[in-house]
Amino acid sequence: MKIKDELGLALSGASAAAADGFRQAAHAYHRYAGDPLPLLQAACADSPGFVMAHALTAYLTLLGSNAEAQALGVAAFEAAKDLPATDRERGHVTAIGHMLAGELRAAGRVLEDVSIDHPRDTLALQAGQIIDFLLGDSRMLRDRIGRARPAWSADMPGYHAVLGMHAFGLEETGLYDRAEAAGREAIELEPRNGWARHAVAHVLEMQDRRAEGVAWLRGDVRAWTEESFFQVHNWWHLALFHLGLGEIDEVIALYDGPVWGARSDMSVDLIDAAALLWRLHLRGIELGERWSALADVYEARGGFAQNAFEDAHAMMAFVGAGRTAAARELLAAQAGAVADNAGFVAEVGRPVLEGLLAFGQGDNARAVESLREVRNRSARFGGSHAQRDLIDLTLIEAASRNGDRGLERALLAERAEALPLAGRPSRRLAA
């Protein structure tokens, strides 16, 4: 008898026991809580031909991780690529191959087709949306999930994950009321869904509802932190809410504690650390040795010119730590960017890095020129609106330091119009 998952999708090569372990691992992945890897390793040991267990291992380890984890993803792909599989499963393996080649757009397109044919394939939806995020494709962040929602109902396993993913896509396309409703519904179904929790946090961030944001995250900390591999990013969101309220001591305590206290070398965690320090840096906050500690990890980690968005945050660390040589080496490495990242570097990454370096060196006129030129197309190198806001914040500060009062006033007026709830006359109080 062929084994199927809870939604009727075939699981080639799986025993009943391995399929049960995969189900538990997928549940952890969908809520970003629990440790899926031991479950997947046990499933693959039991059933070496289990295609989807290898695929989920690859998705877990190839993006936003470190070299050690990525090696697991490569091994998973090698184990899966020649196994007997259904068309759906072959789609996953093909997408992973594109990911390994740096061809994110191709990977996203393959997973789009998988989701069109199998709208209840939650893994295809989730992996596809992560790729949309890396591509900065806000429309697909929303529509990849929206297309599938008619095939779902609240009584289906994993429906909370679909709601949480749709909430984030709705938020990134400015549909804030619908996004918040979907995210809160997802949390009612599964309080430990870290992605849905973060989607609502994004809504509150974009609407400048800072005090509500603090209450949202501090109200049930255990739900989104216990065994969560997404908790650092949600701690980062909490820090942004406190920053917007001018509570600098709270922000620094969060940085020194849950955001960076463990000194992770996972790229997703490094990005949050660099982004938070840079926001404090723009406000003139003394950060002591924090920049140096972060820059040390970036230098030891290396691997530049593989992701332009990550490179921008490495540049922040090098500028903050005063490591001009490392910053120059990073710029030089980008000349060797390949596949999709070569386009990301050319379109956005290079001018952002040059603008950040110029700002750090006090060349504010050049920083304004670089960042002003690129900010309206910055989505092309990935990230969320909240993350890319650093480009505008740096541009505003550079304009101020350059004495360009007209541009500074215009940018602040633009920002106030975009955040009508803010009502803040002072640029220093913008997050």
- Report whether 222 contacts 236 (CB < 8 A): no
Copy the structure tokens of residue 170.
């709705």
CA 34 vs CA 30, 71, 196, 234: distances in Å: 10, 21, 16, 16
Residue 420: predicted pLDDT: 58
Nearest by Cα to 6 from 28, 27, 29: 27
- Report whether 126 contacts 108 (CB < 8 A): no
Q: E strand or H helix at 188, and its extent?
A: helix 176-189
Residue range 173-231, pLDDT digits in tens: 999 999 999 999 999 999 999 999 999 999 999 999 999 999 999 999 999 999 999 99
pTM: 0.94
Residue 231: predicted pLDDT: 95
Copy the structure tokens of residue 118.
């199998």
CA distance 65 to 73: 10
Residue range 382-416, pLDDT digits in tens: 999 999 999 999 999 999 999 999 999 999 999 88
Work out the pLDDT band at 1, boundaries 50, 70, 90. Answer: low
CA 204 vs CA 168, 199, 210, 212: distances in Å: 12, 9, 7, 7
- Is the predicted pLDDT of residue 303 greater than 90, yes or no? no
Residue 418: predicted pLDDT: 81
Taken as a whole, the chain contains a residue count of 431
Per-residue pLDDT averaged across 352-358, rounded? Answer: 96
Residue 278: predicted pLDDT: 97
Residue ranges of domains in the chain: 263-431
CA distance 269 to 262: 10
Tell me the longest C-alpha to C-alpha distance in the chain.
74
Poorest-confidence range of 206-215, 237-246, 262-271, 411-420? 411-420
